[in-house]
């Protein structure tokens, strides 16, 4: 079955088709091709999730080169969950961009699709080197998307972003060289099978490579002190790009789950729990840094970026806990935080277009063209991000707190989760009262031209996903637990070795 390859091939062929001159000169055709491709991608991702939950992992050897020699794609429930959240986020953010943001520069649509190709490939690959390749694909596309539309602030932020990621890519290659020397393979399940019986002389190299790889994924995930690029980058780029970038940090967290929870997990001999203690400390400090940044934010987009830092720190705490329950809780929280962060950026885009020169700064400004609709979206998203019941953020945080009790980490996890929630409540309450209540004068005349029905529909759809996460909370938590159990029980490893999933 070719299903595991489709999430990579669909955006690739859509991008190539859009680049064809006949399509490239007609913006409306580019939008149609991209939207059709994204709808297909959502359907394929959903089908992949249900099939992996029902039948177990699905593998795909590109060119019939079997693992560990060829490019091997593997769809299991963990990867399928990430495919679903990415495709839903991409569909809504791209629809928002079709409201006019895609006109500010050339090649927005093919770059958007290449970005998705890299993201989906990173989630599906079963090989650490191919993970590097897909990382580079998504990063190259993100460099161009970041400065789409131009501007001094975007260019300056892009310089920091590109520099950080180029350094991270160099360290990635060094880490892979060390791991290949130690294990003799870079196939992730193959590495996991060799880790408990690794020769003594290879252990130091494997430890060095694993720790260096943790640093690389820390750069991608914005782990303190490697997080400083994120607030400026996300707050200066265009709104739909910032919304799509909400999933970028989750790739780093996912990679830690995929590699460190398996290759350097509890049953990996001398490599067991590699780097867990420093990761626990740094994840907690990341949460605190994000909370302080949120309280100090002067614009809504900067505030949302710091809320993403908080969510990254919270997810990395689940990696540090290292249990099946913590991974399951982190996976559900990933669904929530990714979709709600992207939704919040789209809401910020609506606010930007309605406030004129004040943009999203926390200052007195003119009233909104759509005060009720915008206010409801802001309130729902804010309460979900804070973690207030009955929204998805509350369910995700309760799941994490329960996992902390089961793992014996409640003494440090609980205070951090509760303090960050309080900081988010204070920061968002101040933001909401300033944006919606401190108004004077009349509506900005340009708002009627800037805000289209496409913007309203796209932002409304993405905000509504929090209700889906709540209504489907029971099945989703069960499926998350199933994905975590498969990851920790070595179901993927058994599948590649010819066993039954």
Per-residue pLDDT of the chain (501 residues; tens, 9 = 90+): 688 889 999 999 999 988 887 777 777 888 899 999 999 999 999 999 999 988 888 888 877 776 666 678 888 899 999 999 999 999 999 999 988 878 877 788 899 999 999 999 999 988 888 999 999 999 888 888 888 766 677 777 777 788 888 888 899 999 999 999 988 888 888 888 888 888 888 888 989 999 999 998 988 888 888 777 788 888 888 899 999 999 988 999 999 988 888 888 777 677 887 888 899 999 999 999 999 999 999 999 999 999 999 999 999 999 998 888 999 999 999 999 999 999 999 999 999 888 878 888 888 888 888 889 999 999 999 999 999 988 999 999 999 999 999 888 889 999 999 999 999 999 999 999 999 888 887 777 776 778 888 999 999 999 999 999 999 988 999 999 998 888 876 555 555 554 443
Domain assignment present for residue 90? The answer is yes
DSSP character at residue 104: S
Rg (CA), the chain: 22
Q: How far apart are the first and last CA of the chain?
A: 16
Is 239 within a domain? yes
Rounded Cα–Cα distance for residues 275 and 214 (Å): 8
Domain that includes residue 265, residue range: 3-496
φ and ψ at residue 43, rounded to 5 degrees: -65, -45
Q: What total number of domains does the chain contain?
A: 1
* Domain membership flag for residue 321: yes
In the block, which residue shows the tokens 């399940």? 189
- Cβ 49 vs Cβ 31: under 8 Å: no
pTM summary value? 0.92
Please indicate, yes or no, if residue 277 is contained in any of the structural domains. Answer: yes
Q: Are 367 and 449 in contact (CB under 8 A)?
A: no
Q: What's the sign of the alpha-carbon dihedral 315, 318, 322, 328?
A: negative
Please report which helix (H) or strand (E) contains residue 59, including its range: strand 58-61
Tokens of 13: 């062929």
389 in any annotated domain: yes
Which residue in the block uniquely carries the two structure tokens 């191919």?
130
Q: How far apart are CA 453 and CA 316, in angstroms?
A: 38
On whether residue 501 sits in a domain, the answer given is: no
Sign of CA dihedral 225, 226, 229, 230: negative
Query: Per the domain annotation, does 169 fall within a domain?
Result: yes
Write down the residue that tokens 């789409």 correspond to.
148
User: Is residue 283 in some structural domain?
Assistant: yes
75 pairs with which residues across the strands? 58
Please state, in angstroms and as integers, the Cα–Cα distance from residue 198 to each residue in 127, 166, 426, following that order: 19, 31, 50
């Amino acid at each position: 079955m070719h299903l595991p390859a489709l999430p990579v091939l669909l955006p690739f062929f859509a991008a190539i088709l859009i680049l064809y001159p006949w399509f490239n000169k007609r913006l409306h055709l580019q939008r149609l091709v991209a939207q059709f491709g994204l709808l297909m991608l959502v359907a394929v991702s959903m089908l992949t999730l249900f099939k992996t939950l029902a039948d177990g992992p699905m593998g795909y050897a590109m060119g019939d080169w079997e693992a560990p020699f060829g490019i091997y794609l593997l769809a299991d429930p963990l990867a399928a969950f990430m495919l679903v959240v990415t495709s839903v986020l991409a569909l809504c953010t791209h629809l928002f961009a079709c409201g006019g943001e895609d006109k500010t520069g050339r090649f927005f649509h093919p770059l958007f699709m290449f970005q998705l190709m890299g993201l989906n490939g990173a989630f599906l690959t079963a090989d650490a080197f191919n993970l590097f390749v897909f990382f580079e694909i998504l990063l190259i596309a993100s460099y161009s998307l970041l400065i789409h539309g131009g501007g001094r602030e975007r260019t300056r932020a892009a310089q920091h972003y590109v520099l950080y990621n180029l350094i991270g890519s160099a360290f990635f290659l060094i880490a892979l060289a060390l791991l290949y020397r130690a294990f003799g393979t870079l196939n992730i399940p193959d590495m996991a099978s060799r880790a408990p019986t690794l020769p003594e002389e290879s252990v130091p190299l494997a430890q060095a490579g694993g720790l260096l790889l943790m640093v690389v994924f820390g750069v991608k995930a914005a782990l303190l002190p490697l997080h400083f690029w994120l607030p400026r980058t996300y707050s200066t780029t265009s709104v739909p790009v910032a919304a799509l970038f909400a999933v970028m940090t989750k790739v780093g967290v996912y990679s830690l789950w995929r590699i460190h929870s398996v290759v350097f997990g509890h049953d990996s001999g001398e490599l067991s729990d590699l780097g867990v203690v420093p990761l626990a400390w740094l994840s907690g400090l990341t949460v605190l840094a994000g909370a302080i940044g949120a309280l100090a934010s002067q614009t809504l987009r900067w505030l949302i970026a710091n809320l993403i830092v908080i969510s990254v720190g919270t997810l990395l705490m689940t990696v540090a806990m290292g249990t099946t329950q913590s991974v399951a809780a982190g996976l559900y929280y990933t669904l929530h935080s990714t979709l709600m962060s992207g939704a919040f950026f789209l809401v910020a885009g609506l606010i930007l277009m309605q406030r004129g020169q004040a943009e999203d700064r926390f200052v007195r400004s003119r009233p909104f063209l759509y005060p009720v609709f915008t206010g409801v979206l802001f309130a729902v998203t804010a309460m979900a991000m804070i973690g207030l019941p009955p929204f998805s953020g509350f369910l995700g945080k309760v799941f994490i707190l329960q996992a902390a009790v089961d793992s014996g980490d409640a003494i440090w996890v609980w205070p951090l989760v509760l303090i960050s929630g309080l900081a988010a409540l204070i920061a968002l309450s101040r933001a909401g009262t300033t944006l919606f209540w401190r108004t004077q004068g009349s509506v900005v005349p340009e708002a009627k031209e800037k805000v289209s029905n496409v913007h309203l529909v796209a932002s409304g759809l993405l905000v509504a996903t929090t209700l889906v996460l709540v209504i489907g909370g029971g099945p989703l938590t069960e499926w998350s637990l199933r994905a975590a159990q498969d990851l920790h029980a070595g179901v993927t490893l058994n599948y590649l070795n010819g066993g039954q999933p």
